[in-house]
Structure formats: structure tokens, C-alpha cells
Structure 1
Amino acid sequence: MNKPDTIPARLVALKTTSTPDLKAQWRELFDSEPPPFNRRYLESRLAYRIQELAYGGLKLETIRRLERLGEDLDGGDRKKSRVRADTMPIAGTRLIREWQGVEHVVTVTADGFEWQGRPYKSLSAIARAITGTRWNGWVFFGLKSRRRA
């Protein structure tokens, strides 16, 4: 385990660490393969994990409270509870897709997406507005392959 005074230095170093090295740290700290998400996600999760290992994690009472709040949010809906929170890109992420020579930029927001200054609840609605046809928005923006869609 690291001395506590080296923790801030490790956190700062994450910003300039190469992506392959971030993934190697992930494997070391989580004992699993890193998820296929953007660099910012890796940095934030690694920063949390480094601090968790050095200073301790959440108190059991806090974990239980968060679980209760989660149950309140999904209302016991099994389908909602199976959806992993980390499947949604981080708020602020920009999704860029070229369609018929025009570049379209969608920004992920806390409660959905924004395209051309308008809020949308789903990527599929944006894909439909862009193409005029029905699309799986996750496939259209390259977040999911057609085979898994």
C-alpha cells in the first residue's frame, strides 16, 4: 500500500499517463480487464480506486443507504436494475457521426442527449431525425455493434 502523501501525486499523474498504461493500472487495481469506455471514465474510476485502497472505501451504512436509494429509483423494476450504469457514456461526452457528408455532434447530458441545441431522451430519436429512418441509436453512433443490437 502507498503512503498517503503519494496519493495526490498518483492522482495528478493519471492526467498525463498514456491510455495503455491506464489500462494496465486498471488490471492491477481492479483485477479485471478495463471496460471499453473513454479515457475520462478510466481516469475517474482509477482515481477513486487509488483513494479507496489508500484511505478505505465507503462505510457499510453508506453502501446500504445507496442500495436503498437505488431500489427506490427503479421501483423494484428488474429490467431497470439489470441495466448497468456504466453503459451510458459520461455526461459531457461528445458523440460524432458523419451522415451523407454532414458531421453531427451529440452531447451526452445528465438526463439524456443534446443535438442541435435540442434535448432528446434517446439516441434513436436523434438518429431518426438525422436519417429520416428508424435506427438503433447506439448502433448509429457506434456504441454497439449491429450483431449485439
Structure 2
Amino acid sequence: MPRIAAQNAAQAPAPIIAAIPPADVLGRLAALQTAPIAHLKQQWRELYGKEPPPFSRTYIQSRLAYRIQELAYGGLKSETRARLEALGEQLDGGNVVLRRIRADSRPLPGTRLIREYDGVQHVVTVRTDDFEYEGRPYRSLSAIARHITGTRWNGWTFFGLKGRPSV
């Protein structure tokens, strides 16, 4: 029986979400600031047609503000979306891991990371696409930390970097 319910749920049409009159936008945006979280979550269900994510009030407010404006004035054209995707591909070469790393969280190329371990000073140079240690390229700081210590380490922690990128 659950299999039939799952099939029916998969075939259910997407909810129809009505456009918002442009004259209502400012009032709705202002109301987001003081609305209780339960009301924000209900608006999410109405405007997105699905359950809200378990994120902060600030996140839900900002996404609702965007969605209200999108439904009133229209979203990005498909050509614009395609162009943005193409630009993203050019920047990261299609590498999904690089795409998930915030650009400002990685040290700039040329940065030297210095760590003393077991009385020996270890120097790593950050390069554009990898890291150099003892004249050899490494794809990650964790690989270098493992080479130095012989055990598994989070490379960002080992070298004392805060704001480790989320991969």
C-alpha cells in the first residue's frame, strides 16, 4: 500500500502559486519584519508550495522577500540563468567541489602557511588550484597534515585556519 501512495505523490501536480500584484509588494515586505515565525513558515508554504527549510528566521525572511518580488515582477529570464551557469562553469571549470567552497575562505595564492610539529617547521605554499609542500603538489591541506603526522587530520585545523570552507 505505501508503494501506491508514493507513486500517487510523485504524480501529484505542482501547486499553482498566484502572482502577487506589484502594489502589494512594499506592504508584504514590511510585514515580514514583524511577522511571527509561524506566519513566515505559512507564507513559505503558500509562496513556494513546499515545507520551509529548518533555517534561521533571517534566511526565511530574505528568501520570502525575494520570492514576493519574483512573483510580482518576474524572475530571471532563462537566457540570464543560462548565462550565469556558463559564467560559473568558466570560473570553476565545472569542479563541483570548488563551486561549494566560498572564494573568500581560501587563502590567496602565494600565502605561506607555517606550522611547527614535533620540533620541525613545516611550510606550505597556497597555489591557485592546490598546495605545495616540500616541492610537491597536494590537492588538500588534509593530505599534507596526514603526510606530516602520519594520522588523519583536518588540514584547515592543523594549520590553524579559521573559517574552514564547507566542502
What TM-score do the two structures reach when normalised by structure 1? 0.53
Deviation at 1:72, TM superposition (A): 2.0
Query: Which residue identity does 2:57 align to in structure 1?
Result: R
- Structure 2 match to 1:27: 45
> Does 1 or 2 have the higher relative contact order (CA < 8 Å, sep 6+)?
2
1:78 and 2:71 matched: no
Q: SS where residue 58 of structure 1 aligns? A: coil
Structure-1 separation of matches of 2:21 and 2:93: 43
Match of 1:50 in 2: 68
Give the counterpart letter for 1:34 in structure 2. Answer: P
Amino acid at match of 2:58: R
How many residues matched?
98
Give unpaired runs (5+ residues) of structure 1.
89-109, 113-123, 130-136, 139-149
Kindly report the root-mean-square deviation, in angstroms, between the aligned alpha carbons of the 2 structures: 3.3
Give the direction of change, closer, same or farther, for the CA distance of 1:37–1:76 in structure 2 (3 Å limit).
same
The structure number with the bigger radius of gyration is: 2
- 1:18 aligned partner, one-letter code: P
Q: Quick check: 2:20–2:68 contact (8 Å CA) kept in 1? A: no
| CA deviation string 1:4-27 (max 9, x = no partner) | 111110011101111111111111
**Matched-pair identity in %:** 53
The alignment partner of 2:46 has SS state of: helix
Aligned to 1:98: none
**Pick aligned residue for 2:104 from 91, 96, 111:** 111
Compute the displacement of 1:67 (Å): 0.7
In structure 1, the residue matched to 2:55 is 37
Structure 1 distance, partners of 2:89, 2:74, is 25
TM-score, with length taken from structure 2: 0.48
SS in 2 for 1:15: helix
